[in-house]
Amino acid sequence: MDTAIVDRILHEHGEMRARLADWEGALQQLAAPGFAEWQRGLERLWRLVPFFEREVARHFREEEAELYPQVESDPAGRPARLGQFAAEHAEFSRQWQAYKRELLYCDAVGETRRVIELGTGMVELLRRHMQTEEAELLPRLARH
């Protein structure tokens, strides 16, 4: 049993959930009427970029390198959705690049619609992804 990996992933998921809540709050500010509120929301979004740029990418790499191989070797069999988890990592990374372009555009011209749409979808994707990993993958690792 490798509880260290499980504990670390759960800790990092907790940190990500807190940052996702910040992201949602910033998107709400961006959607609010008034230039000052919009500006505060935009500033909050930019402050979140380094975390999602570095920490989430690192987290995905470590899961794929450490967690997924151990889950694959589970005597109970490889979970059918393991490939889907890696695909969700790739999808989040792809969407992240589009989101950053839209954030730059929003900052330059004030168009918020696409940033809000993409950001909301990405928050939902990452939350659902973590919840499913915790329900389906982490228990398998804890049984080892």
How much is the pLDDT for 138? 84
How far apart CA 93 and CA 107 sit, in angstroms, is 21
Q: 3 or 52: which carries more pLDDT confidence?
A: 52
Q: Which domain holds residue 97?
A: 3-143
Share of the chain above pLDDT 70, in %: 92
State how many domains the chain has: 1
Prediction pTM value: 0.91
DSSP string, 75-142: TT---TTHHHHHHHHHHHHHHHHHHHHHHHHHHHH---HHHHHHHHHHHHHHHHHHHHHHHHTHHHHH
How much is the pLDDT for 70? 83
Residue 144 has pLDDT above 70, yes or no: no
68 contacts 39 by C-beta, under 8 angstroms:
no
With 0-12 / 13-18 / 19 or more C-beta atoms within 10 angstroms meaning exposed / middle / buried, residue 114 is middle
Q: Is 93 left (phi over 0), alpha (psi -120 to 50) or beta?
A: alpha
Residue 1 has pLDDT above 50, yes or no: no
**Terminal alpha carbon distance of the chain:** 4
Average pLDDT of the residues of the chain? 91
For 73, the 3-state DSSP assignment is coil
